[in-house]
Amino acid sequence: TDPDQPLFFTIEGAKMGALLTAITWIICFSYIRFALFDRADSTTYALAFLIPITVFFAIIAEYHVSLFLSRNRQIPVIVGNILISLPVVIGMILFDFSLLGYAAMLVVTFALRSLIFFALLYRPQGARSFLRTALLALRRKPLVLENARQVLAGGSAMLAYSVVSLVAITVAHRLGDGAAALLAYALKIPLLILTSLWFVLGARFFSKVVRDNGAGAMQVVLRLTSLNVLIAVILAVCAGIFQWGLHLYGGGLSGVVLDFVKVISASLPLLPIIVFVPIIEMSQRILATWGNHDRIPRVAAVIVGVAGAGFAAALVLHSMIVTMLALTVALMAGAIVSLRSLTSAAEFKSIG
């Protein structure tokens, strides 16, 4: 293994991340300029600037993860994500952060994850080797651009998830401070599961997909989906029990416990995304591994289309609940199309 490979891949990821971040900025600020007009305030502009920065660090981390998995090193991916994400999400549960505070935490989290992954992968070989590799990486056209169509298509489903989540935050902000705070609360528990437990399950799954070229992937998808359904149901039952307890003993609960009960209750409309997002991500990885990149943009189109219609209805009705349901239903539709595409691809693969 080339000891300078992590440095090369990090610079490759930084170049691609910078390009995609710039594109995301253009989209966000164009939306503010031409859709919101004079209704956008300083918070809207700050969110449009901060949140796309996570794209830069997320792309770099994806390059690092590909190196870890290619070397069959799953533990750093699992531990790194848990150590960074879990404390942050727990902090979000215990403390009330503004939307700007939440966005800033996201940027810091993604940046720290990239730095830790790089530190685990790279062993310096001296200044001369560093400069030679850095110059080579800077001069070379990004590898992904050599097959840009497949790369963009292969990641479009999860990109759609990120985009509609960002739009949901923007819609919530337009509905008023109370609605934005409600969405921030509602996202806490799903994010806790997706950024901790799912990183553990997902890292092992994606390592197996790469190693076995997708063999037996459908069975694993169904098994992990069953587990995620069980987790979502348990959380929903807990929310109901906590709500009942709040009704009976609300006056005697401590501040932290009361806040936790409120977080669980607010999360109910978004708990199903604990099931839907992993289905979309697993399907995307498997389809890309099988070379069926053309099937993935269909999933992205469904997610964006359903979410767009739902968000429009939420703005007309001025309803935060409709906004949350729009996000959930869009991801449910994306998960259904993902499974159908995956089943069709599996049948074609078996026939072939």
| pLDDT tens readout for residues 283-304 | 888 888 778 888 889 999 999 9
| pLDDT tens readout for residues 13-34 | 898 888 888 988 888 888 777 7
Is the pLDDT at 143 greater than 70, yes or no?
Answer: no
DSSP result, 120-157: HH-----HHHHHHHHHHHHHSPPGGGGGHHHHHHHTHH
Dihedral angle sign, alpha carbons of residues 272, 196, 172, 158: negative
Confidence of residue 336 (pLDDT cuts 50, 70, 90): very high
Amino acid identity for residue 352 in this structure = G
DSSP result, 165-234: HHHHHHHHHHH-HHHHHHHHHHHHHHHHIIIIIHHHHHHHHHHHHHHHTTTTHHHHHHHHHHHHHHHHHH
pLDDT value for 333? 97
The arithmetic mean of pLDDT across residues 333-349, rounded, is 86
Instruction: Tell me the C-alpha distance between 299 and 322, whole Å.
Output: 22
In this structure, are residues 67 and 5 in contact, taking their beta carbons and an 8 Å threshold? yes
Which is more confident, 83 or 156?
156
pLDDT value for 351? 45
pLDDT value for 352? 43
Average pLDDT of every residue of the chain:
79
Which is more confident, 347 or 333?
333
Amino acid identity for residue 170 in this structure = T
Q: How many CB atoms lie within 10 A of CB 310?
A: 22
| pLDDT tens readout for residues 102-141 | 778 778 888 888 898 898 888 888 888 888 888 888 887 7
